[in-house]
Structure 1
């Protein structure tokens, strides 16, 4: 099924906004900057996305879809070892994707000060939890704890210097406690 001209334009604008955020940060994401990046007029950008929050919500939905796809693919190809080992390797792999990770977390954290983005941020968490439930067979409670722990380490990884060495044994041990602990 082919997309309409309007849908193609929307996708150009969304991807343009994602590029602006990836390159210059969320603070640089304005309708004007996105229009220039996407190669469309400012009026087209504001017609397609009346508010910046509307645009950021669409960028978040794109990031969630890409996160779901890449995480599913990674988990499906990394099934060997204990669950806590898989989760530890997942943290390390995600940290190696620093540019993508920085963009994702900048969007995710924007939901703290932009209430209209909170439902997108919560959806992102639920997508991650559902993947762990499905592919690693974790209970909803353990999946929630694992995602919370993953997010804490990823945020720390973003803030630390890139050459900082993480305590993989500690990460693995905490994941083991989550995986082997009682269900709530």
Structure 2
């Protein structure tokens, strides 16, 4: 039986989720070993796919990294937007920002590492800077549902700055500091 238009002998795609698994595996490898440790071979192994799948689905490692970080930034932005959209007034908006910091940013070490890997890449390569810029614009737009643009920008900077401190500071911090910082920035 000869292969048909789908590329398989049975008329079904062999592995329709393979590209998505590769992207997910790429993020896993980056979280574990950094961008510097993300090779085609390691990602293929983590995805459980043949090495040839890497070049079949992506023109190179840079395209794969860009796709993976795009998926990552969209996932984080969607969660951020959901939290801010659920707020109904200034008080619940402040609480949503606190939850974003304490639960989303501080609560997930994998995402914290991935964020910083993206920031480092964006500092060096303009194509990735476009991703971080779009991510910041989405964050600020979500914040501007409840705060003026200057306050939204300061809150966004607070979130990013606290993520750096969380990743690098060895000392445990009082979680109430987040509440105090958000209150100070949003004080009328």
When normalised by structure 2's length, the TM-score is 0.77
The structure having more radius of gyration, on CA atoms, is 2
CA distance in 2, matches of 1:98, 1:127: 22
4+ runs of 1 displaced by more than 6 Å?
A: 4-7
CA distance in 1, matches of 2:21, 2:185: 41
On the 8 A contact 2:102/2:175 being kept in 1, the answer is no
Residues 7 and 146 (structure 1 numbering): CA distance in 2 closer, same or farther, change over 3 Å? Answer: farther
Q: Which has the higher contact order (CA 8 A, sep 6+)?
A: 1
Q: Which of the pair is proportionally richer in helix?
A: 1
CA distance in 2, matches of 1:6, 1:143: 43
Aligned length: 174
Residues 70 and 85 (structure 1 numbering): CA distance in 2 closer, same or farther, change over 3 Å? Answer: closer
CA distance in 1, matches of 2:58, 2:119: 19
On the 8 A contact 1:14/1:58 being kept in 2, the answer is yes
- Residue 165 of structure 1 and its aligned partner are, at CA, apart by 1.4
CA distances 1:81-107 after superposition (whole Å, capped 9, x unpaired): 364444234322220222222222222
RMSD of equivalent CA atoms = 2.7
SS in 2 for 1:96: coil
- Alignment of 1:68 onto 2:74: no
Residues 77 and 39 (structure 1 numbering): CA distance in 2 closer, same or farther, change over 3 Å? Answer: same
When normalised by structure 1's length, the TM-score is 0.79
